[in-house]
Amino acid sequence: MEAVDKLLEWAETEGVKLNGIKPSLIPGRGIGIVAQRDIKENEVVITVPHKLLRTYDSTPKHIVTALKGCTVHGILAASVCLETDPSFAIWKATWPTVEDFDIDIPMRWPLELRDLVPHYAKALLVKQQGKFERDWRLCRDAFPHDFTKDQYMYAWLIVNTRSFYHTTPKTERFHKHDHMALQPVSDLFNHASVGCHVKYDADGFTILANKDHKAGQELYIRYGHHSNDFLLIEYGFVVPCHENPFDDTCIDVYMCPRFTVAQSEIMAANKYWGNFMVDNNAPCYRSQVAARVLGLPEEDWPGVFAGTRDDGPDSEETKRQLAFVLRLYEKDIRRIMNEIARSYDGEEESRELLRRRWLEVKEMIQTTIARLEDDDD
């Protein structure tokens, strides 16, 4: 924690104000922020002055100009690679290492392990990889001799896992994914589905306690309304699904093959094709519609899509169709978890993280099946 002490010393001289909190090592979560005394709801626990934020606006002009067309994410990553200010090294020393990312971040895993992430997580991963490769190509062409692809990927993942939502009049026009800023010290807050309030005001970026905290308790912020698939791919961790009201899992792989091509086109024309999810409580509405029409002749489908057909008489068959599809998923989860248990690909901790994600999915699916079948009684 020497690196953190140095960061705090430097941060204080730069105007960062910590009030009753301190970064500490938290088992399984790296560094986190812990209350040093009892903290009252709405107390400001940290203020970071605007001048310390690393944003599109604060990036040296020659970098922004050289990277025309690059995402803000990609530009901030390049600026991290190109930074030479010695004080920046003090901040960087508190960041995770490349080896940490090799363990936690699926984009760094070998292909064989990446192949075993849940369906929706895989789609996110492919998108993330594409976004990275586009940013990298622009940066490589603009700065061919300044950093390697691996160094750039590290910086890109730092920006991905540690930036905050932030806009300025200049960046408002950009895509919301590009409204980002890096900032020291407050980038040490871990995530929970309910967390402290964050805001920008005249003094800078501030975080306010969302509730009373006892001394020794960890303070969190919420990174967003994210499922565990999203947290896994973007941030390299998962939380128990009963602690994550935003968790869900995609059942497209099991639901979609139940339809003929012609039927899938009818579904698509009615905007009901794909994105079939199950969350902590139940299949989502789209999944229910899909299961419902599966049990009906096609001439009855328009009434379902228009919401004019009475759902009472269809409900038993809908539940049966859903339970059937979810049983296919459950069987596949067992196969995938066996495959993970037998695998030697990647690091053991990465496989454990993946196994935990699948355990959450299994629990979600089994609970949902039990509910559907209980309702039958």
Ligand X SMILES: C[S@@+](CC[C@H](N)C(=O)[O-])C[C@H]1O[C@@H](n2cnc3c(N)ncnc32)[C@H](O)[C@@H]1O
DSSP character for 177? G
- Specify the residue, 32 or 346, whose C-beta has the smaller distance to ligand X: 32
Strand partners of residue 205? 48, 200
Nearest distance in Å: CB 294, ligand X: 38
Least distance from ligand X to the Cβ atom of residue 194, Å: 12
- Establish if 183 lies at the interface with ligand X (CB under 6 A): no
Cβ neighbours around 377 below 10 Å, total: 4
Q: Which is nearer to ligand X, 20 or 23 (CB)?
A: 23
Judged by CB under 6 A, the stretch of 182-190, 267-275, 331-339, 345-353 that binds ligand X is: 182-190
> Which member of 50, 108, 122, 162 binds ligand X (CB under 6 A)?
162
Question: Restricting to residues 94-153, which ones interact with ligand X according to CB under 6 A?
Answer: 96, 104
Rule CB under 6 A: choose which of 29, 37, 40, 175 binds ligand X: 29
Part of the chain binding ligand X (CB under 6 A), chosen from 40-48, 235-243, 298-306, 315-323: 235-243
Using CB under 6 A, pick the residue from 135, 187, 229, 314 that binds ligand X: 187
Residue type, 249: T
CA distance 343 to 334: 14
Check residue 241 for interaction with ligand X (CB under 6 A): no
- For residues 31-60, which are near ligand X according to CB under 6 A? 31-32
Sign of the alpha-carbon dihedral angle for 128, 130, 134, 136: positive
Helix and strand counts by DSSP (H, E) for the chain: 15, 11
Which residue shows structure tokens 């992430």? 117
Nearer to ligand X, 101 or 329 (CB): 101
Cβ closer to ligand X: 223 or 329? 223
Dump the DSSP string for 106-153: GGGS-HHHHTTS-HHHHHHHHHHHHHHHHHHHHHHHHSTTT--HHHHH
Q: How far is the CB of 342 from ligand X (least distance, A)?
A: 26
Beta-carbon contacts of residue 200 (< 8 Å; ≥ 6 apart): 50, 166, 206
Told to check if 229 binds ligand X by CB under 6 A, we report no
